[in-house]
Amino acid sequence: MAITIKALAELCGAEMLGNPAPQTITSAANLDAAGVNQLSFLSNPKFADKLKTTQASAVIVPRATSAEAASPDTCLLRVDDPEMAFIACLLRLYPPKARTHTLSAKAAIDPTASVGEGAHVEAFASIGARAALGKNCWVMAGCRIGDGVTLGNDCVLHPNVVLYDGVRLGDNVTIHAGSVIGADGFGYKFRNGKHVKFPQVGSVVIESNVEIGANTCIDRAALGVTRVGEGTKIDNLVQVAHNVQIGAHVVICGQVGIGGSTEIKDYVTLVSQCGVADHVSVGAQAVVLAQAGVTKDVADQDQVMGFPAINRKAWLLEMAALRRLAGNQKALDELVRLLPKLRDTVGDE
């Protein structure tokens, strides 16, 4: 939707500098790609030279940016936090898709289920017995909400999300397409040459303000609950095993795997493709870097990498030592070749 530069400035509390024409903004783009009638932003001063070359009609910039830093055709909107101001403007330029607050006649809703005021359930969604949806929930096409599932207010389930029986969601939970919450955990006991399944009779609790990416799987607990804490954000293609306890405001990037009964404490960051073994603890505010393999507990605020994962600085020192060793390979080979002669010489003495 079109909006004037002045209105955007008022929206994000910005100070306008330079030419405000053209008066309307219709979309947003990055500095390199932006053109007339588009908004962009600059948050890192190291890219400030792009202000001279961008074709954007308006750019949100840090408060200290001077008017001379940009082309005369670009209006600068100076703010304290360009990223948050840009987010506010994006929400105005690209408002969320409207919902109709209706229950499709092609949805299958069990008569014992309760659906809160303002909810929107699309065609071919299925809601099981005794399920309870809060106010203003949006269940898109093809979703399956199992028996006894509860959703808080303002939850959004994108197409083909599956919530197995007994799963509980807090308020304002968003789950993207194809994710499965509450499937059986992977638990077996090997007896008499066979893998005997341990019944998975627990559930999953997703607390409020959590967002879960597409095709992510969070397994129900064997006993008790698998829990995802308040405000946590989980990317696409993540596997969370049974009985995992994830704290508040954790960030889990794509293709991470977390083993059973592991504890991920508050404000942890798990970077893409790392793996965390079962029955370990990752301390608060710790960072597990990409492709690391965590096999033992990680301390609060530590940063680990490699396999098995160790402190980042220690791992870098080890890698540097290996590179030096590789660089001296010829000398080492020569020493090995001379060892027999050295033994003979020492033996003669």
Determine which one of 120, 158, 176, 242 is catalytic. 242
Tokens of 64: 């200290």
Residue listed under structure tokens 């509450």: 182
Query: CB within 8 A of 52, min separation 6: which ones?
Result: 69, 70, 71
Sign of torsion, CA 212 216 219 220? positive
- CA 238, distance to chain mean position in Å, is 9
Cβ-contact 283, 266 below 8 angstroms: no
Residue 214 CB coordination number (10 Å): 17
Which of 302-321 are b and which e, b meaning 16 or more Cβ less than 10 Å from the residue's Cβ?
A: bbbbbeebbebeebeeeeee
CA–CA separation, 314 and 322 (whole Å): 12
What residues pair up with 77 in beta bridges, in sequence order? 16, 60
Give catalytic status of residue 242 as yes or no. yes
Helix (H, G, I), strand (E, B) or coil at 77: strand
Maximal CA-CA distance, the chain: 99
What is the set of active-site residues? 242
